[in-house]
Amino acid sequence: MSFVPVFHAEWIKIRTLRSLRGALAGILLATAAFSALASADADTGDADPLFAVFFGVSFGQIAAIAFGTTAVSSEFRGGALGLTLAAVPDRRRWFAAKATAIALPVLAVGLLTGLVTLVVGKAVLGNAGPGWTEGLRGAVGCGLQLTLMALFAAGLTAVLRSGVATLSVLIPFLLIVSFVVGDLSGGVADLLPDRAGQVVLHSTWDGTLGPWTGLAVTALWTAVSLLAGGWCLKTRDV
């Protein structure tokens, strides 16, 4: 079976699962809501206006991770993956189609989220907000970061074969390791997947990574995760 019908089948699965639709909505709602609160509370004299506008991405990416995790973990329940692979024996092709079916809706929602968040943030901050050029860079970066984190979670779920295990690893990592340990460990923490990608959401940055090199580091983490997931799917029994 060629890639297109495999992708179409995976797209139908994504589109019809209510939990996945809820996770997509959560990306937009969590990002926009927390960003609006951060913008309203920002000290316009000292705060980074761009990061104040996109502060909620730190919470929206949790919903993106839940989306990527759920989309893959559903295959490991009730023998669903065995049925899928009976129809698509090429496991790498199936996993590529699954990853594409995950990436496209998250990217679309992520870009929409970035634009909505930018408009809301500029309305709240007024003249103290970022310029449109800088803001659009943040909006695009928002969409890319959310997509990369969803794919990172998808690859890790394929490795662990469990949505619960994946979320038990990633959510504490994002809420504890990145926020607490990251602030104590200096420059090494800048290479963590969530922190590296969020450099694009800052007006200024002190580390060695810039907006696009930071996203490149996150993309590298994601590529490793997906390659590991694909390898595990190929070598393990269903």
**pLDDT band for position 11 (cuts 50, 70, 90):** very high
Segment 19-23 shows an average pLDDT of 92
Residue pair 214/197 in contact by the 8 Å Cβ criterion? yes
| The predicted structure's pLDDT at residue 168 | 93
Tokens representing 110 are: 């992520």
**pLDDT of amino acid 185:** 53
Confidence class of residue 2 from pLDDT cuts 50, 70 and 90?
A: confident
Q: How far apart are CA 95 and CA 38, in angstroms?
A: 38
pLDDT score of 3 more than 70:
yes
* Mean pLDDT in residue range 217-237: 93
Q: Report how far residue 40's alpha carbon sits from residue 110's, in angstroms, rounded to the nearest whole number.
A: 22
Q: Which of 106-115, 117-126, 162-171 is most confident? A: 106-115
pTM of the predicted model as reported, rounded to 2 decimal places: 0.93
Compare 178 and 121 and report the one with higher pLDDT.
121
Q: Check pLDDT > 80 for residue 9.
A: yes
Burial class (CB in 10 A: 0-12, 13-18, 19+), 134: middle
Which residue carries 């943040």 as its tokens? 138
Cα 162 to Cα 155: distance, rounded to the nearest angstrom:
11
Taking 80 as the threshold, does the pLDDT of residue 176 lie above it?
no
Instruction: Report the pLDDT averaged over residues 105-121.
Output: 95
- Tell me the pLDDT band of 44, cut-offs 50, 70 and 90: low
